[in-house]
A and B are shown apart, each in its own frame.
Chain A
Amino acid sequence: NAGVTQTPKFQVLKTGQSMTLQCAQDMNHNSMYWYRQDPGMGLRLIYYSASEGTTDKGEVPNGYNVSRLNKREFSLRLESAAPSQTSVYFCASSENVAGDAVTEAFFGQGTRLTVV
């Protein structure tokens, strides 16, 4: 089982360049998420997609856009990269069943992005 696959694993960008981080899950999960991890800050939610066809802002959405391409894929785009976007980015997915439960989130391996 591949689970959640992110590409690329490492990337260096120059300030002002654009790029798209790709994420795909093979668990037929309804919800997908993008987090960033910074030293001393933990993981913070950038955007999420509760179900196919919907996207919503998280805690730190500025400077990012997302696309839920289909049920499997959820991409994160940096239109004009800034040094403040240097971080480790994680994609995650979860089943997200309706009702009173919270289901487990599964994470990808992360992308280390450096903006110079």
Chain B
Amino acid sequence: EIVLTQSPATLSLSPGERATLSCRASQSVSNSLVWYLQKPGQAPRLLIYDASNRATGIPARFSGSGSGTDFTLTISSLEPEDFAVYYCQQRENWPLTFGGGTKVQIK
């Protein structure tokens, strides 16, 4: 099973600041890495697929990069609605696995 490790666990930032979230895989997942955002009481929302492709309707301030074992989600300028928990997920191998999440909170 591929283990995904997200860091940091919590990120405290102010609106307008840049957020950089990391996801590291225990073995290569090529570019088969997906990012989601989840707000309290809601289902997750697909943000980025295959490491760097924005899903339909996702604003350009969200970008993803990386390949192999190291991936980054960047939010160029945080909007109030971006404060949430972010998860990465690999879809290279079965079983599918998620990272433990990074909470982006208001400083």
Partners in one complex: no
Residues of B participating in the A interface, judged by any CB pair closer than 8 Å: none
